[in-house]
Amino acid sequence: MQKLLFVFILFFCVHSGFAQSADKAKMESERKEIQQEIRDLQNSLSKVKGQTKANLAKLRMLERKLELQDRLIANINKEINIISGDIYTSNLEINRLQKQLDTLKIEYAKSVVYAYKNKSSYDYLNFIFSASSFNDALKRVSYLKAYRSYRQQQVANIEETQKLIQDRKQQLLGKQSQKKSALENQRHEMASLEVQKKEKDAVVSKLKSQEKDLAQQMAIKRKRDKILRGQIAAIVRREIEKAKKEEEARLAAIRKKEADASKSNASSGTVSAPVKKSAPAKKQDYLVLNEGQAKLAANFASNRGSLPWPVDNGNVSIPFGTSRVEGLSMDNPGITISTPNAGATVKAVFDGEVSAVSNTGDGMMVMIRHGKYFTVYSNLSSASVSRGDNVRTGQAIGRTAQADDGSGGQLDFMLMIESQNVNPQPWLRR
């Protein structure tokens, strides 16, 4: 029974250890990802630190860094809670094992006293020879052997319990050391968070003093977005009209084939089976996809969350949708990505066909079709593709123009499902 108890204790400890190890591995992986993104943001911030003019890119990077700092602290707090739970469980286990050891020692002491009182060989022999029969004598010999084995097992149980207690105490020391290290990390990250908040407040203060410049930047972007929306709407209408004509041509070919078959049957006197007439083309304001386009669209959709970013070392300075900065509001049809320098290479995020390359007045725009999906890359200083070109994922299609505030480069990136704008950021890999 006692042996089974030891096995149960060992199984419980090992099973709990595996579960906690999985949780800790997941937390460690998450923490490394957060720390890597913080380092990347810090590198980007270092590149613009020398600029005296505060800009939206700085503000968004600092806001993102604060968000990551909060997540990192939450991750560390979770680790501290798990370690504290481990320490509590370890103390309970040590106390339980200590009680078990005390019980084993008491039982062993009793058996030693009993053995001492009956230690003479005469007593053992007398016990055997006083048996009423030969079979009874054999039973008494077996009993004495079992008793000797029982005492040996008692010693083994005591030694095993002592070893378990020693192991748990060593593990407890390790957990206490881990908690101390985690608390030090927590204090460090909390101090770093306060520094980041002050840095953000300084940038916000600068932006307030540059409100006139900021309003001018937003006015420039609104004007560019208006021109861009008009051009995109015209391109989508053109694609729909093109798809409509292709569908009409396909249906006309079917009707001609049916008519030719009817004439051939009439001249030969053969009665043909009734042929289902093709439906007349309906008015449409959506894209009709052929087999290849439908497959491309499905592949694009299946890559949601894993599309590559259109630029390297870029950060979102203006998010999708309505946003406010120091009292100024704007509606962004895509995301605005800032790069450390103008002239950064812009790449296609997926395979597709170039639907348009046009000038928006203060920059170039490239629009790529991926079945029923479109990606738009605007505010380019130059484009390296032409309408009708087939492009591959990661292929260079142009370069970023200078940002509206004159610092670094800037790309306006949009994603559309037919004519509907959607937030592209969830589609890009983290």
pLDDT in tens, 353-373: 999 999 887 789 999 999 999
Pull the structure tokens for residue 419.
């004519």
- Per DSSP (E only), the strands in 44-122 are none
Residue 257 tokens, joined: 């084939």
The reported pLDDT for the residue numbered 22 is 73
d(C-alpha 282, C-alpha 137), whole Å = 106
Looking at residue 424, its pLDDT comes to: 96
Q: What is the pLDDT of residue 415?
A: 96
User: pTM for the full model?
Assistant: 0.57
Cβ–Cβ contacts within 10 Å for residue 323, how many?
A: 15
**How do residues 30-40 score in pLDDT, each as one tens digit?**
878 877 777 77
For position 290, what pLDDT does the model report? Answer: 78
Report the distance separating Cα 8 and Cα 403, nearest Å. Answer: 66
pLDDT at residue 52, rounded to an integer: 46
108 touches 154 (CB < 8 A): yes
**What is 213-243+301-427's CATH number?**
2.70.70.10
- So where are the chain's domains? 2-209, 213-243+301-427
Confidence (pLDDT) at 93: 85
pLDDT at 237: 78
> Strand pairing partners for 142?
none
Amino acid at 53: K
- Residues whose CB falls within 8 Å of the CB of residue 188, separated by 6 or more in sequence, listed in order: none
Q: Quick check: 87 and 172 in contact, CB under 8 A?
A: yes
All residue ranges of the chain with pLDDT < 70 are 1-21, 44-56, 112, 114-132, 134, 136-137, 140-141, 143-148, 150, 207-214, 217, 247, 260, 263-288, 325-329, 405
The CB density around residue 391, as the number of other CB atoms within 10 Å, is 21
pLDDT for 122 equals 42
Pairing of the two strands 396-402 and 352-359 = unpaired
